[in-house]
Amino acid sequence: MCFQTFMKILTGILSIVFLILGIALMIVGFILQFGKDVLVKYLEAYTNELNEYLKAAGAQFNVSDYIGYLPSITGNVPVVFIVMGAVMAVVGIIGLVAICKENKCALTIYIIILAVLIVGQLTLVIVYYAARDTFSARAREYMQQTIDTKYTGYNNTNMETVLWNVFHMSLSCCGINNGSDFLSSTTWPRYVNYSGKYYDSVAYPLTCCKLTNWTACLNTNHTDAAYSNWNIGCYNLIDRVVQINIVYAALGTAAVLLLQVLILDFSVHLCRKAGEKDI
């Protein structure tokens, strides 16, 4: 009896944690999808610094304005977060009701839902790591398409151009593998008006210059590595940041899976006890 009470309390606590995690995931999803003002405030220090660089270069736009494009950049990720969070919250509520009532039918439904969630999450993890090279190849292909058909220079404001310029300046890199990725671009004008001087036949985008001296970079046409990042690709730097975050995401997923397994195990015990009561 004492052990059953302990399991009931512990399973209830774990269900509450699961509910809280679900609500937190929903909040993150809603912020990414609809919370432009929240993101602008959170990223204010970083965007102000970047805007200073852009202003010094003569660019006439505000990076903060483009945070509104975040839903387009992140695709369906916020929606996935919202749906996953909602599912976790609902499962947590079902679990709490089932545990408090000690109803065998409700506990059985709860156990089935938890089992499906665990299998689904494990499947997603396996698919990601099994198809990681495919995802990487498609990402490179898409990035090259944006360079070839969307990139229009340092002082233009379409989303793809702004993103590339932000990558170049914030990561000190150029292109996917290096600046030569821009040689196939059909939309990038190879001239620059900078600080009152016209530069023709520019080898690589102005934002591939190191921020310390854009004038020297243009005067040497990116041939001096002291002034240009043309030989440093952005993809590996972006991928490194992504992989670091994936490690944290994997640890978080492992913790959630462990939580689900514990809840599942305790729920099975409670379900058995509830069944014995019904006999």
Residue 235 has pLDDT above 90, yes or no: yes
Contact 198, 176 (CB under 8 A): no
Binned at pLDDT 50, 70 and 90, residue 243 comes out as confident
Contact 147, 202 (CB under 8 A): no
d(CA 15, CA 91): 8
Residue 229 has pLDDT above 60, yes or no: yes
> Residues 156-203: pLDDT tens digits?
667 788 788 888 888 889 999 999 999 999 888 888 887 778 888 888
d(CA 229, CA 171): 10
**Lowest-confidence region among 75-89, 195-209, 213-227:** 75-89
pLDDT at 67: 60
- The rounded percent of the chain whose pLDDT value lies above 90 is 13
pLDDT at 39: 63
d(CA 277, CA 192): 81
Binned at pLDDT 50, 70 and 90, residue 66 comes out as low
pLDDT at 242: 77
Residue 28: which of 92, 86, 82, 73 has the closest Cα?
82
d(CA 31, CA 42): 11
Residue 96: exposed, middle, or buried by beta-carbon count in 10 A (0-12, 13-18, 19+)? middle
Binned at pLDDT 50, 70 and 90, residue 69 comes out as low
Top-confidence residue, 78 or 182? 182
Give the ranges where 35-131 is alpha helix by DSSP (H).
Answer: 36-42, 44-56, 70-74, 77-101, 104-130
pLDDT at 88: 84
d(CA 60, CA 7): 62
**Lowest-confidence region among 23-37, 49-63, 145-159, 226-240:** 49-63
In this prediction, residues 235-258 reach a mean pLDDT of 78
pLDDT at 178: 93
pLDDT at 228: 92
- Domain residue ranges of the chain, discontinuous segments joined by +: 1-101, 103-266
pLDDT at 132: 78
Q: Kindly give, in sequence order, each residue whose CB lies less than 8 Å from that of residue 129, ignoring residues fewer than 6 positions away.
A: none
pLDDT at 279: 46
> Residues 36-54: pLDDT tens digits?
666 666 666 566 666 666 5
d(CA 138, CA 44): 32
